[in-house]
Structure formats: C-alpha cells, structure tokens
Homo-oligomer: A and B are copies of this chain.
Amino acid sequence: MDEFSFIESIKQHTYKQSSLIKGIGDDAAVFSSLSQDIVSAVDTFVEGVHFSKETMSAFHVGYRALAANISDLAAMGATPAFYLVSIVIPKGWEQEELLQIFNGMSHLARGYNMDLIGGDTVSGKELCISVTVMGFTMKGKARYRSTAEVGDVVFVTGTLGDSGAGLHILTHSDNYKEASYYMNRHRMPSPRIPFAIGLNHLARVTLNDISDGIASEANEIADASRVTLLLDEAAIPTSSSYSQFPLKLQEKWKLFGGEDFELLGTVPAKDWDEVKQIGELTNTNVTKIGEVSETSPCGKVFLKQQHKSILLEKKGYTHLK
C-alpha cells in the first residue's frame, strides 16, 4: 500500500463537526469558529519511550495518544472538535498495525464527534506519532492553571495511581485482583471531557490534567497561581483493590505516576457543592483533597500525611517534621 492508498484508507468518509469546511484532501483543513474561542495542543509519542509493543497493541497506542491530547482539551474546559496526525513509520510495522493505530484513535474520536482533518505520513527509523487537537470553548471560558485563589477547594476526578498499577501488571506477571480494570486504565484512559464541560457555567475554575503525576500538576497550579496548596494524602482517591500493591508503589503511582488523565482543579468553596453535582450528572467521581491556603510568590504544595506534613515537589518530597 502506498502513502496515497494509506491516507485513503484512514480518511473519514463523512465529517461530524458542522464547523468543518474542508477536511483531508487539500493543502490544509479549513473550519469556522462561530463565536467560540479555539483551543489547540500537540503531543508526540515515540516507541520505546512512551509505549512499547510489549504492553500495548497498536489499537491501544493510537487510543492512548489521542486520549492524552483530548485530556489537554478537558483541562482547558474545551469541547474536542478536530485532530491531525503526523506519523513517522519505520520498517517492521505492518500495514495492518498502522491501520489499527488509526482505528484506536477513531474509536475514541467517535465518542466525541471529533474529525480527523489532516496529517502527514513519512518514513523514519522509529515509530513516532504526533497528534494535534483542536477544540472550542465559549468566549473567554478557557480554564487555566493560574486562577486558583486562597480559600478554594482543591479537587480531583476519578482515582489516582491506576495507570501506574496497570503498567506494573502488564510488566510483572502475577495474580492480581481486577487486573483488566487496571490495564484498561493504562491503555484506554478516559479524558474527563463531560465533567470539564459541565463546569462551563461556573465563573472561575482552575484546571490541570494529571499527565505527569498529581505532585507535578499541583505544583504547576501553585506556581502559575502564586498560591500554596495544602493536600491531604488520606483524601486522595484510589481504587478499592489498590491496597493489593506494595505501599511504596502505591505512593509512587498515586503521587508521581501520572498518565491517569484525571483532572486536578480548584473552585471557590461556595461552588464546591455544584461541582459535586456536576460530577454526579456526568458520572464522574470528584473528591475534595485539600485547599488553597495562602498566596505565595513561589507557589508550594504541602502534603499532610498521618503524623507529618511534607513539601511535595514535582518529582519527590522533602520531610518537614
């Protein structure tokens, strides 16, 4: 199959987004935006660095690459609309596997009515997938990391550490409880789009998606908003069978593991009840895990543990007492 036939085989025959004017088939794609703002992000995934054939099928590779990008849109409060895929193809990947990568993406995309509107296919030494996503927010309603204020409730969606546990199960054969649940959380994460969009009418919401671990994302919010975040470790939600893993790993995956693609956010305390309701309406568990305690020129994150408080940094922590 040549490049032309390959593009024909992954091309959508119909498009779902009414704002799309021209999809694949010219020098570029064209769409209109009505009166919304446009949100765009790009992420690249390299075989051997971000995924391997040992733990993921080609379908999962595509699914997860797009999911990670959609999660960025969720973290902006944006409705997904379009994606473009640039793929570097090395020898050794079969045509069928490449199609499966695109199937994984389109499977996920369908759930959000997203359209594949462009891309590039080139040869190279290692498989490398660059996904550009575009979405829309109501005018002025994009959600940033920089808007947290003292008194805000800090919350997180879903459960943390599951993706790390899933990868562990995939690489350490043993008899685990709910193994397929954890593996799915690693290979087919669910970006929190419905919940993020549900927050639309709230005046101020700070959002960040958990791609590098809550420690990293909480610090990004603290830093960008110039505030201190106080988190309560006991409140951080984990799955019911999560305690089957060694304590050290539980902590590592939960705080630093990342790739859960849950949302970490803050809202004014008066809006917290409403956020919980939106969680219920969108079938999204949402848990209060702390508060914004004070303004701080160089934002810090503290984690309250049983008998001590620790300074939680992006990739580790310092015991304080």
Contacts and interface: CB of A to CB of B under 8 A. Distances in A.
B33 A132 contact: no
Nearest to A208: B27
A30 to B, nearest CB: 4
A26 B76 contact: yes
Nearest to A146: B26
A247 interface: no
B29 A39 contact: yes
Contacts of A27: 41, 72-73, 75-76, 145, 207-209
Tallying the copies of this chain within the complex gives: 2
A40 B117 contact: yes
B118 A26 contact: no
Interface residues of A, number: 61
A28 B70 CA distance: 10
Interface stretch (A99-107, A121-129, A292-300, A302-310): A121-129
Contacts of A46: 88, 122-124
Given A84-B132, A128-B128, A120 B42 contact: yes
Contact of A22 (B22, B117, B135, B144): B144
Interface string A34-55: 0001111111111011100000
A19 to B, nearest CB: 9
A41 B132 CA distance: 10
A51 to B, nearest CB: 12
A181 interface: no
18 contacts: A26-B146, A26-B224, A27-B208, A28-B73, A29-B40, A30-B38, A30-B137, A32-B37, A32-B38, A41-B84, A42-B130, A42-B132, A46-B122, A48-B124, A49-B124, A126-B126, A128-B128, A132-B132
